[in-house]
Amino acid sequence: MTVRNRISSESGRFVTVFGASGHTGRFVVAELRRRGFTPIPIGRDAGRLAASGFQELGMESRTANIEDPASLDRALVGGAAVINCAGPFLDTAQPLIEAALRAGMHYLDVTAEQPSALATFERFAASAREAKIVVVPAMGFYGGLGDLLATAAMGDWKSADEIRIGIALDSWRPTLGTRLTGQRNTAPRLVITDGKLTPLGNPAPTSSWAFPEPFGAQDVMELPLTESIVIGRHLRVSHLHNYINLAPLRDLRDSTTPPPEAADETGRSAQIFLVDVIVRNGMETRRAIARGRDIYAFTAPLVVEATQRILDGSAKGVGVLAPGEMFDAPSFLRALAPELTFERLGAKR
């Protein structure tokens, strides 16, 4: 079934953004405006919303409290979709999805938190299908990008013995939201073993990864994030493992590491990333590689591209869906240029 936008073409250009005054939220608002949407910034703090300058740009800002369903209902009025950029998503996802269901509007978030994404699939699959809306958890750098790359690498394969995802960052200056989420998210991390979600061993395995340039050989540690959850919903894979190089993890664990710093007029930092996905079936392997800049800023075109495709009716299905199962992955990834460079090796078109 293809989603058809049940909202008028005029109101379909209005997209609400919860957590709009946060670091990632501001990038999302800017990307929506660049694509011709009318963002409706929503936040929990009226002062931060005012300081973000949305009103000066002609946008109507709204405040809402996740503990007050009526305030959420008022904040979402008139929107075709809501993009949730406010972590920890363990706290914000459920009340916002419930509000989206009441409003009959689509919901997307950018969580890297496995328990939040898993709970979204488990709690809202039936109600979202019944309401004929799309709910997409983890449509961010962590989760959504890896899922799309794995789906693109799989190509025409119906199943895979193993998927390995390697993430390389040259540095990681975490936002306050990232730090707060890390403190809140203490659940055991999950990998896919023998086709099932299983807890990661303790201590987490370390290894080395031969990344393409500019990173080359890197020491890595297994660090499963929401890729395990979304990929496991629609790809048949026996084993799935996520790795990240050690240098950015040292930055993340250092309490003195400063937050991201703008390096250009768009507000993007100078951080660069590379995501390398290797899919194996027997002795044959396929690979998908993506390169870009600033994991927080890049989340904006990723989630807004998804929102645009849902609203224009080109997404497949309704309910709670993983990115790779509802979009044509190669087409989606190519549409992110120039913010992302993408290549596939060995996969049939």
Please give the residue range of the domain that contains residue 315: 11-141+299-326
- Cα end-to-end span (Å), the chain: 23
Alpha-helix runs per DSSP H in the chain: 23-34, 46-51, 69-76, 89-103, 114-131, 144-154, 176-184, 227-234, 246-253, 295-311, 323-326, 329-334
User: Residue 348 pLDDT > 80, yes or no?
Assistant: no
Residues 104 and 198 in one domain: no
Contact 128, 319 (CB under 8 A): yes
Instruction: Please tell me whether residue 27 adopts helix, strand or coil conformation.
Output: helix
Helices 23-34 + 176-184 axis angle, to 10: 120
171-200: per-residue pLDDT in tens? 999 998 899 888 887 889 999 999 999 999
- pLDDT at residue 229 in the model: 98
307-333: per-residue pLDDT in tens? 999 999 999 999 999 999 999 999 999
- pLDDT at residue 6 in the model: 37
Residues 283 and 304 in one domain: no
User: Residue 160 pLDDT > 60, yes or no?
Assistant: yes
CA distance 287 to 289: 7
Q: Which H or E run includes 244? A: strand 236-245
- pLDDT at residue 289 in the model: 98
Contact 308, 147 (CB under 8 A): no
36-58: per-residue pLDDT in tens? 999 999 999 999 999 999 999 99
Residue 336 lies in a domain: no
Residue 287 lies in a domain: yes
Residues 310 and 217 in one domain: no
195-231: per-residue pLDDT in tens? 999 999 999 999 999 999 999 999 999 999 999 999 9
119-147: per-residue pLDDT in tens? 999 999 999 999 999 999 999 999 999 99
Residues 160 and 133 in one domain: no
Q: How far is CA 138 from CA 111, 135, 211, in A?
A: 5, 10, 24
CB 216: neighbour CB atoms within 10 A?
10
Average pLDDT, the chain: 94
Residues 125 and 178 in one domain: no
Name the domain count of the chain: 2
User: Residue 10 pLDDT > 80, yes or no?
Assistant: no
Closest by CA to 169, choosing from 40, 295, 347, is 295
Instruction: Please tell me whether residue 275 adopts helix, strand or coil conformation.
Output: strand
* CATH number of the CATH domain containing 250: 3.30.360.10
278-312: per-residue pLDDT in tens? 999 999 999 999 999 999 999 999 999 999 999 99
